[in-house]
Structure 1
Amino acid sequence: MSKIHWKGVFPAVTTKLKPDHTLDIEAIRAGLERLIANGVGGVVMMGMVGENAQLSPEEKMTVLRTAVETVKGRVPVVSGVGETSTERAVAYARAAEQAGVQGLMVFPGLTYKSDARETVAFYRTVAQASPLDILLYNNPRGYGVDLTPDIVEQLLVEPTIVALKEESYDTTRVTDLISRFGDRLNVVCGVDDLLLESAALGVTCWVSGMANALPRESVELLNLLISGDLAKARRLYRALTPLYHLDTVVKLVQHIKLAEHLITGSAETVKPPRLALAGEERERTIAITRQTLADLKALAA
């Protein structure tokens, strides 16, 4: 039985940093308060958008403890688990549980493209290490491992595996998973610019990157789709989609942090080897963000 209500927008939260690349705890707290005030259903810390792979183990735990202390149970706190070995993933899952999070978003083992047997063994071992809800992360483009429905069926013998973040960019998967597993598996949209399509097929939960920048509008969009107001949802989706497209590219973290900076004033600092956007690339994201804000204002008029 899932402990988390997998409904609503769960932003993959950016990790706010100071100019020297250390954690900005107060900015992290302020960002979480803003997301909660705008109606998100949960928060995902230490995903790829949170720069998981660039932070030290100590920094990751500090972020998790900060989130748990700030959120105070108002919404679920989920932690990404992105490690290079099963042993490290198990250790991290246990540490995250001790930090007080309610769920884990588990990446495939990083840097190695596991086959189906290895993938099942990895996820089952991590699931057995903790009683927390597990959100499987399916992103074959990014990590080379595809959690097909056949593989998912083998994983669902573990009762804590309760949800799957679908990021294969193949919306037929949504219907296949819902048809095959019904209420046993919560299918979660993991691609910002496929939200309308996924919701039309029955998805009611969304792990979003650009919701960091525009949480209220993202929550409104999902609510409109769930309520069936497609005409209004389409208009809002069209206004937001140019910005949402930036969630699907290699430099999504930089794009999201720059959009947040323009909208809220938060720092756009990223951990090297990432560098802040520059030149024409930066100007394009600024232009898209400003146009999106103008289009949203026109819709509200």
Structure 2
Amino acid sequence: MQVNWKGVFPAVTTKLKDDGSLDHEAIKAGLNRLIDSGVGGVVMMGMVGESAQLTPEEKRTVIKLAVETVNGRVPVIAGLAEATTANAVQYAKDAEALGVQGLMVFPGLTYKSDARETIAFYRTIAQASTLAILLYNNPRGYGVDLTPDVVAQLLEEPTIEAIKEESYDTTRVTDLISRFGDRLAVVCGVDDLVLESVALGVTCWVSGMANAVPKESVELLNLAVTGDYERARKLYRALIDVFHLDTHVKLVQYIKLAENITAGYSETVKAPRLKLEGEERQKVVAIVEKTLANVRALSK
């Protein structure tokens, strides 16, 4: 299956039991819920999936469960977030053997590589498998910026097909599209910039809060891509407060709490993250409940 970089690709949360172990049945049920909501693909083991906190065996187990559960209905993308090039290469090979269709590749973790090192890192991974590659550009989070000049060199690798643009600078979207055209799919990576990104030509969105509100997220993207901006703006305004939660350092806890409210899945996270409590938890609950009320009001 080739990856068609269109539609909502949730960065899927990893469902855990109270003891922190993988909840296989909840992982499978969550994937089916997302697919039934009309998503275009799923991204496993991204940052929202707590990739950095899972053991190598756990990460591969989640990918295997996803491939088996999805069963070809949509593309499965495996997040690749490793600290060494050797581990990244092995992960790419293992993910391909497990049957995913693509990799969302983070910069090397823990080290802020310069442009030459960054290019070498991504090229080595691209050559390790035949999988489609989605570059992950989040300079705020990881200190490495995949600028258009860096991307131009990376596109010498034919399997590099797309970039998850999370620089929080919408001018980057236009710069990339105008420079690379159809050679590179530019994917929105920030929930509260999705409508702005679509207006500039984006048709694919890797979303965290789509875990909690998948149907609404799919509807929003479809409205915008088809040019119905009047309805899209109304829905976007209804969802915007919960989308803002996707940009916070505790986005994993916020998304899991929102998903608990909307779908009943556990809030459990891997340490050092802890479940929300007290006033902070109450604030997030209030935002989610207000958002759901806003969405219901639109349908009246």
TM above 0.5: yes
Q: Does 2:279 correspond to 1:280?
A: yes
Aligned residue number for residue 261 of structure 1? 260
**How far apart, in 1, do the equivalents of 2:99 and 2:59 lie?**
13
Quote the offset at 1:3 in angstroms. 2.2
Output the amino acid matched with 1:31. Answer: G
Q: Does 2:240 correspond to 1:241?
A: yes
**C-alpha RMSD of matched pairs (Å):** 0.6
**How far apart, in 2, do the equivalents of 1:288 and 1:91 lie?**
41
Runs of 4+ in 1 over 3 A off after TM superposition: none
**How far apart, in 2, do the equivalents of 1:286 and 1:185 lie?**
38
| 1:1-301 paired onto structure 2 within 5 Å | 3-301=2-300
Output the amino acid matched with 1:26. Answer: E
**How far apart, in 2, do the equivalents of 1:194 and 1:109 lie?**
25
Output the amino acid matched with 2:242. Answer: L
Output the amino acid matched with 1:100. Answer: G
Quote the offset at 1:119 in angstroms. 0.3
**How far apart, in 1, do the equivalents of 2:226 and 2:205 lie?**
15
Quote the offset at 1:192 in angstroms. 0.1
Quote the offset at 1:92 in angstroms. 0.4
CA offset digits 1:116-156 (Å, max 9, x no partner): 00000000000000000000000000000000000000000
Quote the offset at 1:232 in angstroms. 0.4
Quote the offset at 1:24 in angstroms. 0.1
CA offset digits 1:182-232 (Å, max 9, x no partner): 000000000000000000000000000000000000000000000100010
Output the amino acid matched with 1:175. Answer: T
Using the size of structure 2 for normalisation, the TM-score is 0.99
CA offset digits 1:254-293 (Å, max 9, x no partner): 0000000011111010000000111111000000000001
**How far apart, in 2, do the equivalents of 1:161 and 1:239 lie?**
35
**How far apart, in 1, do the equivalents of 2:220 and 2:2 lie?**
25
Output the amino acid matched with 1:180. Answer: R
Output the amino acid matched with 1:29. Answer: K
CA offset digits 1:39-86 (Å, max 9, x no partner): 000000000000000000000010000000000000000000000011
Using the size of structure 1 for normalisation, the TM-score is 0.99
**How far apart, in 1, do the equivalents of 2:161 and 2:265 lie?**
34
2:92 is paired with a residue of what secondary structure?
helix
